[in-house]
């Protein structure tokens, strides 16, 4: 449907409305800078790196637990191997001491020695397997820690870039806010309040130029007779299609 206009009771001269467009330009610039601040590519990169580091840290924690468990099992096997070896040595000492004369007892000692040696061999084989398993965990853990170091280095670099970008944005925002503070003093509080209310409900655009017969807020084209009527009107004019303040600039 065509974009019709309505007059509003807030008083404003044509010149004051043109000045309102400059305030709108400043406000739009502020909105754009705030949007950049909320969607910094450096922050997105930093978030991705931080998430990746968290994944690596969790994996490293799991590998560390596995390596610690393997180390505990290896230490236990080492102690058992040492214990069995000590028993073998004690039985062999008894066997060759010359204090045992009974053939049956000598045979029993020899059988015990053979049993202990088989047990020791089995535990040594298992100990070797656990040692290799532990080394595998520790190798993977080393790789994860190297990756974590690389990510931490990248995080430090990107954080520096992010902070520099934020500092630049803060400077730009400060400059724009100063400009806005100077401009708002030009307007009647009623007009300013009405404009700010529209901005809050109209995606940040409270005032729009009437250019080439179209409202630049909603981009709706007006019939030629309505454009002529608006150009002849006095006071504040609103676009019925979008509700924004229409400003005739030429």
Beta strands in 41-139 (DSSP E): none
What local confidence, expressed as pLDDT, does residue 51 receive? 98
Q: Which two tokens stand for residue 204?
A: 């940040």
Question: Which of 155, 159, 133 has its CA nearest to residue 57?
Answer: 155
pLDDT at 38: 95
For the chain, list residues with pLDDT below 70. Answer: 1-11, 250
CA distance 134 to 76: 14
CATH pick for 38-184 out of 2.40.110.10, 2.60.120.260, 3.30.70.330, 1.10.287.1700: 1.10.287.1700
Q: In this predicted structure, what is the pLDDT of residue 129? A: 96
The two tokens of residue 76 are 């236990």
- pTM of the predicted model, to two decimals? 0.74
Strands 207-211 and 245-248: parallel
> What's the Cα-to-Cα distance from 79 to each of 130, 168, 180, rounded to whole Å?
14, 64, 78
Hey, what CATH topology would domain 5-35+187-248 get? Helix Hairpins (1.10.287)
**Segments making up each domain of the chain, as ranges:** 5-35+187-248, 38-184
Calculate the average pLDDT of the chain: 91
């Amino acid at each position: 449907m065509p974009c019709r206009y309505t007059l509003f009771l807030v008083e404003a001269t044509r010149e004051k409305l043109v000045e309102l467009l400059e305030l709108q330009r400043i406000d739009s610039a502020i909105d754009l800078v705030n949007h950049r601040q909320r969607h910094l590519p450096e922050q997105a990169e930093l978030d991705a790196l931080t998430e990746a580091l968290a994944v690596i840290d969790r994996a490293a924690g799991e590998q560390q637990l596995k390596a610690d468990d393997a180390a505990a099992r290896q230490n236990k096997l080492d102690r058992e191997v040492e214990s069995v070896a000590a028993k073998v040595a004690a039985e062999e000492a008894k066997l060759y001491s010359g204090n045992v004369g009974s053939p049956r007892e000598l045979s029993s000692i020899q059988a015990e020695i053979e049993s202990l040696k088989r047990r020791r061999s089995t535990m040594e084989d298992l100990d070797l397997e656990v040692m290799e398993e532990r080394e595998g965990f520790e190798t993977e853990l080393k790789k994860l820690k190297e990756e974590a170091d690389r990510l931490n280095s990248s995080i430090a670099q990107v954080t520096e870039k992010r902070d520099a970008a934020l500092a630049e944005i803060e400077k730009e925002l400060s400059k724009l806010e100063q400009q806005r503070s100077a401009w708002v003093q030009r307007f009647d509080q009623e007009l300013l309040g009405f404009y700010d209310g529209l901005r809050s409900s109209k995606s940040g655009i409270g005032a729009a130029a009437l250019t080439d017969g179209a409202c630049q807020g909603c981009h709706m084209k007006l019939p030629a007779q309505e454009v002529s009527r608006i150009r002849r009107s006095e006071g504040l004019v609103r676009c019925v299609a979008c509700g924004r303040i229409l400003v005739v600039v030429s």
